[in-house]
Amino acid sequence: MTGWFLFAAAFLACTVEAVEATTVVMAVGLTRGWHSALRGTLAAIGVLAVIVAALGPALTAIPIGALRVVVGALLLVFGLGWLRKAILRASGHKAFHDEAEIFAKQRAAAESATTRDPGRFHGGDPYSFTLAFKAVLLEGLEVAFIVITFGANANAIPLAALAAVIAIAVTVAVAVSVRGPLSRVPENTIKFVVGMLLTSFGTFWAAEGAGAHWPGADASLLFIVPFVAAVSLLMVAQLRYRRSSSGGAAPAVLR
């Protein structure tokens, strides 16, 4: 059962990161040309490969109990951060993450940016290369974190890696087909779900690593995840009620 939860959590989390990185690369590539944008993307992938190759074996060498405590704590921090923002967005206290708006801003910035000494960059565009490199590297590091921590902790790195590869492949395929921002992807809803899953996994693994024994072992996730979801939705309802009672604007609708 943990395998299905693991795959779903890794797939959804990696989809969010892939959408954000793809939005930037698409905006730069469509505006200033694909040559340097793709070079930056490939360079970032190369750096990520080195980081993953270095960190993967190191994590697997840590005793499983200590690993679960550390990874569980990290996932709790990571997941609660996503969940907090998702709850604020759903209750109308924070603006939704809009990929169309981000795409437009990145494209406008790319159009207005000037290239300095392109000849020193072997005929390429330093701006496009740098922006694509940074976007792919930063979002890719989060993907690597998800794959390595989930996989090492559950002793299922290939499954987590498969989920990440599928998520990235689907995102890129959709982006290429629409040649524009991935605004139809329900990213805010996905972040809400991922925040709940990461929080649930973090709680499960941290407690297990500290010596706790969950009733039903892995099957207890079938109760932990709905509990976290119920608490999160109750918080959304409470914040919406407070907002409407204080005379604020109509709450945003969760997409």
Residue 228 pLDDT: 92
Residue 231 pLDDT: 92
pTM of the model: 0.64
Task: Report how far residue 88's alpha carbon sits from residue 151's, in angstroms, rounded to the nearest whole number.
Answer: 30
Parse the chain into domains and list their residue ranges.
2-244
Residue 141 pLDDT: 85
Q: Counting Cβ atoms within 10 Å, is residue 66 exposed (0-12), middle (13-18) or buried (19+)?
A: exposed
Residue 254 pLDDT: 39
Task: Report how far residue 101's alpha carbon sits from residue 23's, in angstroms, rounded to the nearest whole number.
Answer: 10
**pLDDT one digit per residue (tens) for the chain, 255 residues:** 467 777 888 888 888 888 888 888 888 887 777 888 889 999 999 998 888 777 766 666 666 677 778 777 887 888 888 888 888 888 887 766 555 566 666 666 666 665 544 444 455 678 788 888 988 998 888 888 888 777 777 777 788 888 889 988 988 888 777 765 555 556 677 778 888 888 888 888 888 878 888 887 777 888 888 999 999 999 988 888 887 877 655 444 434
